[in-house]
Structure 1
Amino acid sequence: MSTGKEELEVEEDFTTADQEEIVEPVIEVAKTNLAKRRTIDALLEEKRLRKELEDYGYDL
């Protein structure tokens, strides 16, 4: 445990980045997310319909 009288050593050896070096993260456009969601919904709907066809009683 440290007593309140000890001094902490602080390293100030960090470099600041220039404005040109900063790389902003790529943000996906809402259209892309919506397109992905629609594709997933279509695949799930197709899977649901196939299951209905398998379970359908053809002997009516």
Structure 2
Amino acid sequence: MAADKSDIEIDDDFIESDNDPEAAADVPVSKTNLTKRRLIDNMLEERRLKRQISEFDFDLE
């Protein structure tokens, strides 16, 4: 489990600036929430698949 925490990569580039409030108002909240949820789901799915690969027994003889 400790190894999983080290695999997490966070993009610091995704910081919404407060200087342009009109740009944030143009995008509906539901779409941004859905986009964030999809990103989280994709990251969790990728971690789950990596864990399955690491636990898979490749000795199929």
TM value normalised by structure 2: 0.52
- Which residue of structure 1 aligns with residue 45 of structure 2? 45
Distance 1:29 1:52 in 2: 34
Q: How many residues align?
A: 35
Unaligned runs of 5+ in 2: 1-23
Equivalent pairs: percent with the same residue?
Answer: 49
Runs of at least 4 residues off by over 4 Å: none
- Which residue of structure 1 aligns with residue 30 of structure 2? 30
Higher relative contact order (CA 8 A, sep 6+): 2
* Cα drift, residue 41 of structure 1: 0.1
Distance 2:29 2:58 in 1: 46
Backbone CA RMSD of aligned residues:
1.8
Q: Tell me which structure has the larger Cα radius of gyration.
A: 1
Unaligned runs of 5+ in 1: 1-25
SS in 2 for 1:59: coil
Higher helix share: 2
TM value normalised by structure 1: 0.53
